[in-house]
A and B are shown apart, each in its own frame.
Chain A
Amino acid sequence: MNDLSSPQLQIEGVSKVFGSEGTEVVALKDINLSITAGEFVCLLGPSGCGKSTLLNAIAGFSLPTCGRIVANGAEVAVPGPDRAMVFQEYALFPWMTVAANISFGLEIKKIPKAEIVEKVQTLLEKLQLREFSDRFPKDLSGGMRQRVAIARALALDSPILLMDEPFGALDALTRRSLQEELLRIWMEFKKTIVFVTHSIEESIYLADRIVVMTFRPGTIKQVVPIDLSRPRDVASNCFITIQKQLSQMVMEEQMRFQKDEVEHLRA
C-alpha cells in the first residue's frame, strides 16, 4: 500500500480564501507539496501563516478554495479516519474513560469487540497509560492527555498522522519526552506525519523536512531538509547552525505579522 514511487500526500495548487468579497483574507496561496510515505514533515511559521489552515484542509475539515489534496490515493473531500488528527487542545471526550476514548474510533469501524480490547490494551501499554485506563480525562495531566490523544489516533491504523501544535501547551520537560516518544512511535508504526509547530527547535528535532511558511498570504517560503541522524543533539554545532538559519527566515515572517497587527490597529 505504501508505494514509495507515488506520494502518500499530494498537495496541488492549494489556495484558501476566507471571508466574503471586500473583506477577503488569503490564508493559503498556491501551495504545492508532495510528501512520501513514512516522511516526517513539519510546517513551521508564525501565527497567521496558514499552517493550521493547511492541516485542516488535509484533514478535510475545511476544503481548499482551489487546488486539490490527494491523500492515500484519493482526493480529500471529508474528514476521515485515514488521516488521524491530534489536536493542540487534546480534544479528548471528557465523558469517556481513557480506554473508551481510544476504542471509540475502532467501534465506529465495527471491529470485533475482542480485537478492540486487545488493541486498546496494546496501545495503553505502548504509551504507558495502563494505570489510567479507567480514568476520565479530567484526572490526567496535560502530557498524559496528549498521550491518550496520540493513542486514540494510532488506534485507527491510518497511514497519515496530522498533528496540530500537539505539544504547544506542555511544559518543556514533558514536551521533550513526548517528542522522543513520538519519534519512537513514528519509526515503529512507519507513519507519515505532518506536524504543525511554531517552535524552530521542535521542528529541527523532529522533522525530515521543514516547510517554512510565509505570513499572509501563506505560501511556502522554503523547504529545508534536515539530514542530521537521530537521536538529534540540540546542542551540536550542526543543529545550532540550522537553527540560526531557520530563525532568520521565520523572524522575517514574524516581523511581517507584527507589522500587520499594528496596521490593523491603526486602521
Chain B
Amino acid sequence: MTDKKSRLKNGMAIFKRTLHGSIVPVVLLIAWEALTRSGFINPQILPAPSQVLLKWIAYLKPLEPYDPANMSYLAWLFSGELPHDALASIIRVVGGFAIGAGLALPLGLLMGGSARFYQLMNPLVQLLRPIPPIAYIPLAILWFGLGNPPAFFLISLGAFFPVLMNTISGVRTVDEIYIRAARNLGARGATLFLRIILPAATPHILTGLRVGIGVAFIVVIVAEMIAVNNGLGFRILEAREFMWSDKIIAGMITIGLLGLAIDTGMDRINRYLLRWHRGMDQ
C-alpha cells in the first residue's frame, strides 16, 4: 500500500471515531437547547447552550476596543476577563504545586530510602494525611490573611501528600533484583540511589505528581471561592450573586478545559519520561 493511501485510510478511521464519539454530546446539546427554548426550563436556572457559548465568547473577548497607543496587539487580545482569570488560576496551581511537590519529593525520597527516618516521620504523616486540604481553610486565612498567600498554602498542601505517599512507596517497592545487580556492578551510596533507585521509582513518583496536580487544581477553585478575589473559582461564585447562570457554566467549562489541558500535558511528560517502561508501548 502506498504511503498516501495508508495515510488517507488512517485519516478516515480517525474521522469515523470522532464522529462516533460525538453522537452522545451532540444529541444532549440539542435536547438541552430544545428544552430551554421551548420554555420548559427556566433559562435563569439552566440557560441554553447557545447562550452559554455567547457568554463564553463575551467573557473571553477584550473589554475595550484595540488601541495601539495603549498596548501591543497580543496584550490586548488577552486583556479580557477570562484570560486574566485563567492565568491567575494557572499561576496559583503551578506555584502551589511546585512548592508542595518540591517539598514532598525530597522528603519522600528520604523516607523511602531510610527505614529509620521513615519510622521517625511516618506517624506524623499518617496523622496529617487524612485531613482534607480544604479543612485548613480557616487556619490558612487566620495565618496568612486573604489573597495569594493562603491560596498557595492550601494548594501546596493539596499537592504535598499525593506526591509524598507515592514517592515513599515508589522507593520502598524498587525491585530488589535491580539493587543486587547494581551492587554487583560496584554501585554504592549516592550512585545507587540516583541512578538505580530514583529511576526505578519514577513510575510511582509520576503517578504521585499527576494526582498531586489534580488535587491542586481542585483546591485552587475552592481557595479562590473563599480567600481571593480573582481567578476562575472567584468568578463563578461572583456570577452566582448576580444570578448569571450562563457565566457560571461558561466558567465551569473553562475550568474543565484547563484541567484537561493540564492532564494532557502531564500525560505527555509521563510518556516521554517512561518511554522505557513496558506499559508505555503503543
List the interface of chain A (C-beta within 8 A of B).
Answer: 59, 61, 78-81, 83-85, 87, 89, 91-96, 104-105, 108-109, 136-138, 152, 156
Contacts and interface: CB of A to CB of B under 8 A. Distances in A.
Contacts of A104: 182, 185, 187, 195
B178 interface: yes
Given A93-B196, A93-B199, A95-B202, A136 B184 contact: no
A81 B180 contact: no
Contacts of B184: 59, 61, 79-81, 83-85
Given A83-B184, A136-B275, 15 more contacts: A61-B184, A84-B184, A84-B185, A91-B181, A93-B178, A93-B181, A93-B200, A95-B199, A95-B277, A104-B195, A108-B186, A108-B191, A109-B186, A152-B185, A156-B185
A108 B187 contact: yes
Contacts of A81: 184-186
A61 B144 CA distance: 53
Contacts of A95: 199-200, 202, 276-277
- Of B185, B191, B202, most buried by chain A (CB within 10 Å of CB) is B185
Interface string B166-193: 0000000000011011111111000100
B185 A89 contact: no
Nearest to A92: B181
A89 B175 CA distance: 11
Interface of B: 177-178, 180-187, 191, 195-196, 199-200, 202, 275-278, 281
A105 B180 CA distance: 13
A59 B185 CA distance: 11
A206 B156 CA distance: 60
- Of B180, B191, B196, B275, most buried by chain A (CB within 10 Å of CB) is B180
Contact of A89 (B177, B202, B275, B277): B177
A49 to B, nearest CB: 21
9 contacts: A61-B180, A81-B184, A83-B184, A85-B184, A104-B182, A137-B276, A138-B278, A156-B185, A156-B186
A151 to B, nearest CB: 12
A227 B178 CA distance: 38
B174 to A, nearest CB: 11
Nearest to A152: B185
- Of A85, A89, A93, most buried by chain B (CB within 10 Å of CB) is A93
Contacts of A96: 276
A53 to B, nearest CB: 14
Contacts of A89: 177
Nearest to A135: B276
Contacts of B183: 61, 78-79
Contacts of B187: 104, 108
A39 B193 CA distance: 36
Contacts of A92: 181
- Of A80, A81, A87, A108, most buried by chain B (CB within 10 Å of CB) is A108
Contacts of B202: 95
A184 to B, nearest CB: 23
A81 B186 CA distance: 5
B186 A105 contact: yes
A138 B185 contact: no
B180 A79 contact: yes
A14 to B, nearest CB: 19
A209 B199 CA distance: 41
B202 to A, nearest CB: 7
Contacts of B196: 93
A68 to B, nearest CB: 20
A35 B44 CA distance: 90
A105 B199 contact: no
Contacts of B186: 80-81, 105, 108-109, 156
